[in-house]
Amino acid sequence: PALGSAPPGPPLVSQPVAAPDCSPPPPNPFHTPMFRELVGCRTLSQAAGFAWRPGFLVGGVTHHSRWPGPPTLSRSPALFLRSPPSQPPPGTLAALPAPAGPAPCAEPCSSPRARAAHGAAPERRPVLPRCPRPAPAAAAAAPAAGAGAAAAGLRVPRRPRPAGPGSGRAAPEAAVPGGASHPVGCGRRGGRRRHEPGGAEPRDGSGSKQLPQAIIIGVKKGGTRALLESLRVHPDVRAVGAEPHFFDRSYDKGLAWYRDLMPRTLDGQITMEKTPSYFVTREAPARISAMSKDTKLLVVVRDPVTRAVSDYTQTLSKRPDIPSFESLAFRNRSAGLVDRSWSAIQIGLYAEHLERWLRHFPARQMLFVSGERLVRDPAGELGRVQDFLGLKRIISDKHFYFNQTKGFPCLKKAEGSGRPHCLGKTKGRPHPEIDAQVLRQLRDFYRPFNRKFYQMTGHDFGWD
């Protein structure tokens, strides 16, 4: 029949497009959220004006005008992959007028896109307030960031404790002399701030780095390490653990580099370092004096013969193939000619080295500590050192424990913190057997130098 003419059969009656049926559909495997968006509010009633496309049928639905009701959806999944059937009669398309626009939903649609397509107002949902991130999560993120910085070789600063009542900290009001960031009177118990024991830096990163006000300048194998470790028990002493060797090896790096090696100190604390080779370095007295003429100098001295044997023992442990002590100490043993050029002998000429230091420092700024008394009576000798440095006498007998095996005193740790702290395994190691005649010859050699040293220091150390 011609386009627009009625086909054979019952007359065609135009039906108005029904309002969308938003009632729950029967169970259907195709009723997915995506499918409902495509067809609208769960129905195909308004799809009367759908268009044909070559090779594809929208929605997989076939629709003929002779159907009395709304089009229905086939349940066969194959329709979504099947090409459309033969072109329906043209009269079918002409007889079914397309609606002017999508009909509004009678009930809220399940999909925002479907609601917008059908002119429905957007569904209003309650707006939930944004909750801040829980504190534990923020705290957990900090270790992760710190781990990355540690892996990169960076120092991760400590997070400051919150200020306020009960926290033990008050808000900083003004800068404190010496670089401390907390006003006087702050601390865990109020009053004077408690210092960290053992030479450690303040835990909160306060304080500042200062050039040392006191230096242990010698002598090698005299007991300098024992003196430094004992002084680090004092709460007002901060000391570098390793030997900086600034005034003998690294002077060209400058004082800023030297200061950066020092630990942080608070007001009232002193900074110290130990490098025993300074005492025998010719340039060291002038260089330290140029830094500060008020620097206090400590020299730990020991019987020069015993000190030379100890020096040789240390070298022998590192180089077992070196010559014997006797062959190194004498140029001509039969004649009793001692080799002064050998460093183990040369260091023990205390009087000659002291002369250079007295050209740049007065004797009152130098303290000579007995290495022998540091073993027999460590608390008594440390009392002299504390007085010399202007410190309160805190280190006493209760801080020491005598190790019978090593023959040296050990430091007791803080009360209830465990075993005493003894120096390394090399402390107290046995010395090689030296011929008694060699030792007598060396004592004769050192005797005039020792007596001169007694006169210069005003103290008889009893080495003869």
Res 399: pLDDT: 84
pLDDT digits (tens, 9 = 90+) for 367-408: 999 999 999 999 999 999 999 999 999 999 888 877 767 676
Q: What is the DSSP letter of 412?
A: -
**219 cis-preceded (ω within 30 degrees of 0):** yes
Res 206: pLDDT: 80
pLDDT of 238 above 70: yes
- Secondary structure (3-state) at 402: strand
Name the band, by pLDDT with cuts 50, 70 and 90, for residue 430: confident
Give Cα separations from 64 to 9, 79, 408 (angstroms): 14, 16, 111
Count of CB atoms situated within 10 Å of the CB of 462: 11
Res 244: pLDDT: 98
pLDDT digits (tens, 9 = 90+) for 91-103: 444 444 545 555 4
Least confident segment among 49-53, 201-205, 247-251: 49-53
pLDDT over 70 for what percent of the chain? 52
Please state which architecture CATH assigns to domain 209-303+345-427: 3-Layer(aba) Sandwich (3.40)
C-alpha span between 62 and 57 (Å, rounded): 8
pLDDT of 66 above 50: no
Give the closest residue to 218 by CA, choosing from 342, 340, 368: 368
Q: How far is Cα of residue 314 from the mean position of the Cα atoms in its chain?
A: 36
Res 397: pLDDT: 84
Which span out of 27-31, 114-118, 167-171, 275-279 was modeled with the highest average pLDDT? 275-279
pLDDT of 337 above 70: yes
Mean pLDDT of 64-88: 46
Mean pLDDT of 195-207: 59
Higher pLDDT, 51 or 21: 21
CA dihedral 326→330→334→335, nearest 10 degrees, is -160
C-alpha span between 404 and 294 (Å, rounded): 40
C-alpha span between 115 and 74 (Å, rounded): 24
Name the band, by pLDDT with cuts 50, 70 and 90, for residue 241: confident
* pTM (2 d.p.): 0.56
pLDDT digits (tens, 9 = 90+) for 121-177: 555 555 544 544 544 444 344 334 344 434 434 343 344 444 443 444 443 333 333
Higher pLDDT, 310 or 70: 310
Count of CB atoms situated within 10 Å of the CB of 335: 8
- Bridge partner list, 299: 218, 368
pLDDT of 458 above 60: yes
pLDDT of 415 above 50: no
Amino acid, single-letter form, for residue 91: G
pLDDT of 59 above 60: no
C-alpha span between 327 and 344 (Å, rounded): 13
pLDDT of 189 above 70: no
C-alpha span between 224 and 367 (Å, rounded): 13
Higher pLDDT, 429 or 452: 452
Those residues with Cβ within 8 angstroms of residue 43's Cβ, 6 or more apart along the chain or in another chain: 20, 21, 22, 25, 70
C-alpha span between 405 and 175 (Å, rounded): 51
Amino acid, single-letter form, for residue 74: S
The ranges assigned to domains in the chain are 209-303+345-427
Residue 208, by phi and psi: left (phi above 0), alpha (psi -120 to 50) or beta? Answer: beta
Mean pLDDT of 400-419: 66
Higher pLDDT, 353 or 169: 353
Res 23: pLDDT: 59
User: In this structure, are residues 24 and 36 in contact, taking their beta carbons and an 8 Å threshold?
Assistant: no
Q: Phi first, then psi: what are they for 53, rounded to 5°?
A: -130, 145
pLDDT of 42 above 70: no
Mean pLDDT of 351-374: 98
Q: Where are the alpha helices (DSSP H) in 304-358?
A: 304-318, 325-329, 343-346, 350-358
Q: How high does pLDDT run on average in the chain? A: 72
Higher pLDDT, 229 or 62: 229
Higher pLDDT, 205 or 260: 260
Count of CB atoms situated within 10 Å of the CB of 169: 16
Q: Tokens in use for 42? A: 């769960």
Name the band, by pLDDT with cuts 50, 70 and 90, for residue 423: low
Which span out of 26-40, 61-75, 142-156 was modeled with the highest average pLDDT? 26-40
Higher pLDDT, 23 or 266: 266
C-alpha span between 343 and 349 (Å, rounded): 10
Name the band, by pLDDT with cuts 50, 70 and 90, for residue 26: low
Res 192: pLDDT: 36
